[in-house]
Amino acid sequence: MRRPERLAEALRRADAWLLHHDHGELREPPPAAEPAVPPDWLRADPDHLRRLAGQAAAASAGTRARWAEVVAQALVIAVRHRDLDLTAALVRTATGLAAGDDPTTVAAVAFLISQQQADGGFGIVPDEGDPHLSTAVRVPLTVACASAFEAVLTATAIDARK
């Protein structure tokens, strides 16, 4: 299956899962203020990397290429830590920086797709226990991944029209 088709299928399954759980709504994150220069180093701290994603999303045209390099490094860290929420946030950021076709971003999207559960949602499906506890984690995680897929598909459609 070609990449846009895989993404569209993953998004369709995530949307179906979210509708079933009646919580899902894809939203764009609020714009962040742009810092003067992106940092030259990264820490593996997920909160730090989330802040970095917000800063990169607000990058000006003159700093986008440098931010794209930083985001690619952060994506590697997020995937290695198997942090789906952070990976999804960084994929959205990379796509916004026009780095959606970067090999690191493509690999991160493939990782996210591989983590989708059979029911269409993301996160661990409990064998037993409180299903509401699972839903509290799975709904936001599925929204984050579906939003990343939607961003990549939108960028792919825009690129195809050029």
Whole-prediction pTM value?
0.75
pLDDT number for residue 146: 96
Per residue, what are the HEC states of 90-111?
HHHHHHHCCCCCCHHHHHHHHH
- Percentage of the chain with pLDDT > 90? 39
71-83: per-residue pLDDT in tens? 999 999 999 999 9
| Both tokens assigned to 98 | 């026009």
Do 123 and 136 contact (CB within 8 A), yes or no?
A: no
pLDDT of res. 16: 82
In the prediction, which pLDDT does 106 show? 94
- 134: pLDDT strictly greater than 80: no
Per-residue model confidence as pLDDT tens digits over 122-133: 998 777 767 676
* Of 115, 64, 122, 114, the residue nearest 93 (C-alpha): 64
